[in-house]
A and B are shown apart, each in its own frame.
Chain A
Amino acid sequence: MISNLLISFELNGKEIHIEAQPDRRVIDLLREDLGLTGPKESCGRGDCGSCSILVDGFVRLSCLMLAVQLNGRKIVTIEGLYGPKGLLHPVQDLFVELGALQCGFCTPGMIMTIIDLLNSNPRPSRDEIREAISGNICRCGAYQKILDAVETISERVSQR
């Protein structure tokens, strides 16, 4: 007999208690059970980064995690980046301002990776940005604009 597990974690600032089957993957729990469609599944095997989320501040791939692994953790998805007044996060603002996307499918994962990067390295060089997003595939090839956007954030940080 398969019994469900009770899982408790913080999701975008809210406490969540939810039941899940033992083999439920985090991406399925987020998208199907919790209705957060920001994280996307493309490859389902770690190659593309479109399912990236922050777990205790570090970027992880939700297609390669089982739901139990969320227990006690703080999870942030793209949906959790809004400020209190519904303002966009500065990284999102710059993506819009500089057009760092075409279809936008890679964007939620890309932005989570960039936030992890900026947390550990607030002023990354272009090469460091390139390296940091090397696990996030953009099929539209918006890479140059993405690099421009992150570089602009990096410059604004250094002007402050």
Chain B
Amino acid sequence: MSKVFMPAQPDELWGILDENPEAVVYAGGTDLLVRLRSRFTKPDCLVCLERLDDLKGVKADDDDIFIGALTTHREMLNDPIIQKDLHILTHALKQLGSPPIRNMGTLGGNIVTASPAGDTLAPLYILNAQLEIGSRNSTRRAPIESFILGPGKVDLAHGEILSRVVVRKVPKFEVHHYEKVGKRNALACSVVSMATLMNVSSNNLISNIRLAWGSVGPTVLRFGDIEHFLVGKPLTVEGLSEAINMIQELVKPIDDIRATACYRREVAGRLLLRLLKYSV
């Protein structure tokens, strides 16, 4: 590597990216610098984004919450807006990596890494998160599920960076549930994860539900059919059993060093039973 830049202003960044077509950007470096070390990537020019203060922090207006891509996991965990409205994200962030990893790693880095095990992703899918992608002359928006194309693959051109994540405040959900199954609690990549937003009526029927799974396909998976099917069903073992079978049919896990496909398929379905604790 022969060059490294650390722009503090967007204009400076666009200039660097124009002049260095091979430049690779990084934020916290907790994915990229690990990959550099294992020599999977050997860029000649790196651009550290950590001083771009415009891309940090959490804001809200009446309708939306805006999270800067450079916001670290720790900053999100400590943020009052996220603590109040996005419990699903705090549940996931508490289980991401370890304290030093959360001090360094950013939301943007987690999204662009596009690992099927990325802990913020399943929550962002069910929050219907929109991503703002900036470049010198324009800003475009894309829903997260169309931005992430596969493991490590995203719809981002050279000269573009992920600038913000936008989440609508409505509808409101009573239940924000995130569960990660891994080999140990800290510093463990998920074997399967499931994120849920749900409302349950006073007679224990599911009135509204969104579900997404991590680590059981090339990207996070969300199934409209299952969400639709579950509406109106009682939140009981019987009420969930058919959906469990449907999930086990639909997920596309693989065998890897952490677990077998068969185990992941079994667990992906059964994680639904964890929602029974919210029955009324």
Contacts and interface: CB of A to CB of B under 8 A. Distances in A.
B29 interface: yes
A22 B48 CA distance: 11
A45 B100 CA distance: 12
A51 to B, nearest CB: 9
Interface stretch (A29-37, A62-70, A151-159): A62-70
Contacts of B186: 131, 134-135
B259 interface: no
Contacts of B30: 46, 61, 64
A116 interface: yes
Given A46-B34, A134-B186, A134-B187, A66 B4 contact: yes
Given A71-B6, A135-B99, A135-B187, A60 B104 contact: yes
Contact of B1 (A23, A58, A60): A23
B34 A68 contact: no
B33 to A, nearest CB: 5
A46 B4 contact: no
Nearest to B36: A23
Interface string A51-63: 0100000111100
Interface residues of B, number: 26
A148 to B, nearest CB: 20
Contact of B101 (A5, A46, A116, A131): A46
A131 B186 CA distance: 8
A38 interface: no
Contacts of B232: none
A132 B99 contact: yes
Given A61-B104, A135-B186, A1 B2 contact: yes
Contact of A22 (B4, B50, B103): B4
B184 to A, nearest CB: 9
A66 B6 CA distance: 11
Contact-size category for A: 20 to 34
A64 B36 CA distance: 10
A113 interface: yes
Given A68-B48, A69-B50, A52 B29 contact: no
Contacts of B3: 22
A13 B167 CA distance: 42
Contacts of A15: none
A49 interface: yes
Contacts of B50: 69
B279 interface: no
Nearest to A44: B37
B46 interface: yes
A93 interface: no
A64 B1 contact: no
Interface string A114-140: 001100000000000001111110000
A60 B97 CA distance: 13
A47 B104 contact: no
A52 B100 CA distance: 8
20 contacts: A5-B4, A22-B4, A23-B4, A45-B37, A46-B97, A49-B98, A49-B100, A61-B100, A61-B101, A64-B28, A65-B29, A66-B46, A66-B48, A69-B6, A116-B99, A131-B99, A134-B98, A135-B99, A135-B186, A135-B187
Interface of B: 1-4, 6, 28-30, 33-34, 37-38, 46, 48, 50, 74, 97-101, 103-104, 185-187
In the complex, the 6 A-B pairs of residues with the closest C-beta atoms, listed nearest first: A135-B98, A134-B186, A22-B4, A23-B1, A2-B2, A64-B33
